[in-house]
Amino acid sequence: MSADPVAPAESSAFWQSVQRAQAAVQSLYLILGSLPDAVASSENPAAALLNDEAVAREVSIRLRRHGSGAGDDNLCRWLYDTFQSNDPDLQLVVLTFTPTIAGVYLLRAISREPLAGFEAVLLALYAYETVIRGGDPETVNLPNLANPSVYHEAKAPPKKGAVELDTAVVSPALEPYGTVRSTKRARIVGVALELYYSKISSMPLSSKLAFCEFCMVWAGQDIGTKAEGERSVSGPAGIAPAPAAGEVKAGRIPLPWELFQPIVRIVGHCLLGPANPEELKTTAYAVVERLHWRATHDMNPQEILATRSLLRLGKMGDDTIAEPQISTNSDDYSEEALKMNARLT
């Protein structure tokens, strides 16, 4: 029997991957000062890093510290180098921290702090997605109602040939960027979140919860006096505390569609994923409520429709959730916004 020539190559690739992961673990140890024994001695270091809550918590704390994300930030350099290793397992480890990187970056970018470390990591994610797409936009095919249904017999044959499917552009073609300009910031971060969404099934619970927490801060707190009995949601630790009644949410950021769309897709997974724990679903529903408030406040029909649809789907999946109550406070919404919301509901 002849030896299988593929087996040695596969074995070599496996051990090379393990060695890269071990080198990454050792580098991270030098930055953090310590690592759990389960990670340091693991036979699969990349998987151990991906799923270890202690490591995730320590890295997240350091990313949120004052002064983090600068050009000399060793942790950002580790994240950048680890992702550039092109090892799929190590890239997943870096992607787990995308919510925290994007969250802290977007909140601080408006104050023009030096954030070259965060920007290097985000540009690495953007460049990776640019190469993967090969210059093509991300599209989906939508069924055309002019075609006869495949589940029913047509009463009469169509006079013309089959109508082609409608193509919808989910994400336009990407242009290469070497720096993050304020006019391109939302696009670059949005693409990084799209990459995160494409791997979301591999992301741990803590990463998804961190994303939901930052979404609360990005969307902002309701303007005006809060309704009696409304629960207050705290923002991520070290970023912005929950405001008192009547205050505008600190950390509220612009949410153009190129950023809002991937946010809604990620939150939609957190809300509707059948295997997701109730903790995540409940948090995600609260996020959708906040995003819906923001979309209505901004009078953006596209965003209102997306969030309203998610609210209804979430309600269908859990009868214990009450229908969202849209405030009629004149300080919160203009008359035009209320009319628009009524048309969409």
Domain boundaries, the chain: 13-135+178-201, 138-171, 204-221+255-317
Q: Is residue 156's pLDDT more than 80?
A: no
Mean pLDDT is lowest, of 58-62, 101-105, 231-235, 269-273, for 231-235
Q: What percent of the chain has pLDDT over 70?
A: 74
Instruction: State the pLDDT at residue 8.
Output: 66
pLDDT higher at 312 or 138: 312
Neighbouring residues of 12: CB distance < 8 A, sequence distance ≥ 6: none
Mean pLDDT is lowest, of 20-29, 61-70, 144-153, 214-223, for 144-153
Q: How confident is residue 186, by pLDDT bands cut at 50, 70 and 90?
A: very high
In the Cβ-directed half-sphere of 230, how many Cα atoms lie within 13 Å? 21
- Residue 49 sits at φ, ψ, to 5 deg, of -65, -40
**What tens digit of pLDDT does each residue of 14-33 get?**
778 888 889 999 999 999 99
At 236, which amino acid appears?
Answer: P
Q: How many CB atoms lie within 10 A of CB 222?
A: 23
Instruction: State the pLDDT at residue 168.
Output: 77
CA distance 81 to 104: 20
Instruction: State the pLDDT at residue 154.
Output: 60
8 Å CB contact between 210 and 100: yes
Instruction: State the pLDDT at residue 53.
Output: 94
pLDDT higher at 161 or 234: 161
Average pLDDT over residues 236-249: 36
pLDDT, mean over the chain: 80
Question: Quick one: three-class SS letters along the chain?
Answer: CCCCCHHHHHHHHHHHHHHHHHHHHHHHHHHHCCCCHHHHCCCCHHHHHHHCHHHHHHHHHHHHCCCCCCCCCHHHHHHHHHHCCCCHHHHHHHHCCHHHHHHHHHHHHCCCCCCHHHHHHHHHHHHHHHHHHCCCCEEEEECCCCCCCCCCCCCCCCCCCCCCCEEEEEECCCCCCCCCCCCCHHHHHHHHHHHHHHCHHHCCHHHHHHHHHHHHHHHCCCCCCCCCCCCCCCCCCCCCCCCCCCCCCCCCCCCCHHHHHHHHHHHHHHHHCCCCCHHHHHHHHHHHHHHHHHHHHHCCHHHHHHHHHHHHHHHHHCCCCCCCCCCCCCCCCCHHHHHHHHHHC
Q: Is residue 84's pLDDT more than 60?
A: yes
**What tens digit of pLDDT does each residue of 265-314 get?**
999 999 999 899 999 999 999 999 999 999 999 999 999 999 999 999 99
Average pLDDT over residues 196-210: 96
Average pLDDT over residues 214-241: 53
